[in-house]
């Protein structure tokens, strides 16, 4: 390839949630390591349409408050209901056209050579983007299960986390040559951390070197799982472990756990918002979390088995991700924190079972350590084909 820098747009449409992290991870990786080949742009499409931004806010509220409605809708997306998907595509296209989105994007960023979407809502209007900019349209599926909005005949190439999701896409009649098993785009720090000695990281974090470590996470707000109940369950099981709890922005539970810290023989390490999740996961034997796709991808990339707990206010797709982890042998799924201690005891005390879970986790998520490079190499091949 010649010295031309190709314009690559990484697009999503979300104000909150896990979708933003893979987008930023891929964008940062390109900007830091591949700026001689690509000129990346990170674009939140909601910034270009007030009405779509408002609808996104309503959708998130409905996802939490109207669970039965959204569960019904998600099931129809899984079935690729043509009426629901067609209506959604049409409405989005009309609203973005009405917001003069093409003109705004072109004014700010000119024209892309290639577009990569990391959200199904963008895939729904991939044909619109191709008409607007005459560029190839790729997508990285950051869910652990496909559904109808991810699939569109106008998508030129799909990147998926593992072979299981590849088979799902083939069942949706996506041509196999359009699919690359790349892993999920995650922060490059995970790739770097995986090369470091675990015991050295444990030492740096102030952990006991020969004691098993349980890491608990529950999203940025730290409200989706019962941290206090989860810790108490482990204490009641009398496990010989040390516990790391990342409470996020939940100051109430942070303070409660710090009060509990002085009353227990088990070492408790309590954090709020952290920037070194990669180190905390690498230093741990098992990860406890709500079943968010990004947290799952990060844990699996490091071959860490998981115990996922149904979130207090989670979406239907997160419950499907929990089932994915359990059914594929990379962890366990609990409805609440009550049985957590006994569950972890059963995993850690059965060495053969634990090693099998680690191997299953590696098979499901190991590609993600190299996902950014794999995606960019395929994009390079696509650009070479387009230049012929």
Q: For residues 26 and 297, is the Cβ–Cβ distance under 8 A?
A: no
Instruction: Tell me the per-residue pLDDT of 335-354, one tens digit each, with 9 for 90 and over.
Output: 999 999 999 999 999 999 99
Q: Would you state the structure tokens that stand for residue 59, as one six-digit string?
A: 């959708």
Asked if residue 9 has pLDDT above 50, the reply is: yes
- Give the count of beta carbons closer than 10 Å to the beta carbon of residue 273: 12
3-state secondary structure 135-165: CEEEEECCCCCCCCCCCCCCCCEEEECCHHH
Contact between 199 and 234 (Cβ < 8 Å)? no
**pLDDT exceeding 90 applies to what percent of the chain?**
71
Tell me: pLDDT of 357 over 90. Answer: yes
CA–CA distance, 372 with 348 (Å, rounded to integer) = 33
Contact 316, 381 (CB under 8 A): no
Instruction: Report d(CA 57, CA 54) in Å as an integer.
Output: 5
183-203 mean pLDDT: 96
Mean pLDDT computed over every residue of the chain: 90
Q: Are 67 and 316 in contact (CB under 8 A)?
A: yes
Tell me what the mean pLDDT of segment 237-256 comes to: 92
How many Cα atoms within 13 Å fall on the side-chain side of residue 178? Answer: 21
Residue percentage of the chain with pLDDT more than 70: 93
Q: What is the mean pLDDT of residues 177-200?
A: 96
pLDDT tens figures, 121-146: 999 999 999 999 999 999 999 998 88
- Give 143: exposed, middle or buried? Use CB within 10 Å, 0-12, 13-18, 19+: buried
Q: What is the pLDDT of residues 287-324, one digit of tens each?
A: 999 998 899 999 999 999 999 998 866 577 888 899 99
In this prediction, residue 387 carries a pLDDT of: 65
Mean pLDDT of 77-106: 89
Burial-class residue 382 by CB neighbours within 10 Å (0-12, 13-18, 19+).
middle
Residues 256-267, mean pLDDT to the nearest whole number = 88
Whether 117 shows a pLDDT value over 80: the answer reads: yes
Q: How far is CA 206 from CA 42, 86, 242, 269, 355, in A?
A: 37, 54, 11, 9, 25
Burial of 242 (0-12, 13-18, 19+ CB in 10 A): buried
Distance CA 208, CA 267 (A): 9
Q: Are 295 and 289 in contact (CB under 8 A)?
A: yes
Contact 168, 186 (CB under 8 A): no
CA 33 – CA 307 distance, rounded (Å): 34
Which residues are CB-neighbours of 83 under 8 A, at least 6 positions away?
A: none
Residue 236 pLDDT class (50, 70, 90 cuts) = very high
Q: Give pLDDT, residue 385.
A: 76
Domains and CATH numbers, the chain: 6-181 (3.40.50), 189-367 (3.40.50.2000)
* Model confidence at 29: pLDDT above 70: yes
State pTM to two decimals: 0.92
Which residue shows structure tokens 């270009």?
48
Q: What is the pLDDT of residue 1?
A: 43
DSSP 125: T
């Amino acid at each position: 390839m010649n010295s031309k820098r190709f314009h690559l747009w990484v697009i999503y449409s979300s104000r909150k949630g896990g979708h933003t992290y893979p987008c930023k991870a891929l964008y940062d990786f390109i900007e830091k390591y591949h700026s001689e080949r690509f000129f990346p742009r990170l674009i939140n499409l909601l910034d270009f349409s007030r009405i779509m931004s408002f609808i996104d806010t309503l959708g998130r509220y409905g996802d939490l408050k109207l669970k039965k409605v959204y569960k019904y809708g998600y099931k129809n997306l899984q079935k690729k209901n043509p009426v629901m998907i067609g209506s959604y595509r049409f409405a989005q296209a009309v609203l973005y056209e009405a917001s003069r989105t093409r003109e705004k994007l072109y004014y700010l960023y000119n024209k892309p050579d290639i577009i990569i979407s990391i959200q199904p809502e963008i895939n729904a209007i991939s044909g619109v983007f191709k008409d607007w900019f005459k560029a190839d349209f790729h997508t990285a599926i950051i869910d652990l299960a496909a559904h109808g909005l991810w699939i569109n005949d106008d998508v030129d190439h799909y990147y998926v986390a593992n072979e299981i999701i590849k088979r799902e896409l083939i069942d949706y009649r996506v041509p196999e040559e359009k699919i690359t098993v790349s892993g999920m785009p995650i922060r490059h720090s995970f790739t770097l951390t995986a090369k470091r000695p675990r015991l050295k990281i444990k030492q740096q974090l102030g952990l006991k070197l020969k004691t098993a470590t349980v890491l608990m996470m529950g999203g940025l707000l730290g409200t989706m799982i019962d941290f206090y109940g989860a810790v108490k369950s482990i204490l009641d099981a009398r496990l010989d472990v040390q516990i790391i709890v990342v409470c996020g922005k939940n100051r109430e539970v942070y303070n409660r756990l710090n009060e509990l810290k002085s009353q227990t023989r088990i070492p408790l390490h309590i954090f709020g918002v952290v920037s070194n999740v990669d180190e905390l996961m690498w230093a741990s034997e098992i990860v406890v979390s709500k079943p968010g796709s990004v947290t799952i991808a990060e844990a699996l990339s490091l071959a860490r088995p998981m115990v996922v707990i149904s979130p207090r206010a989670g979406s239907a797709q997160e419950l499907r991700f929990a089932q994915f982890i359990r059914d594929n042998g990379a962890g366990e799924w609990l409805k609440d924190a009550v049985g957590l201690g006994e569950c972890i005891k059963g995993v850690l005390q059965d060495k053969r079972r634990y090693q099998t879970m680690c191997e299953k986790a590696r098979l499901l998520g190991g590609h993600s350590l190299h996902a950014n490079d794999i995606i960019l190499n395929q994009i390079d091949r696509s650009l070479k084909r387009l230049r012929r």
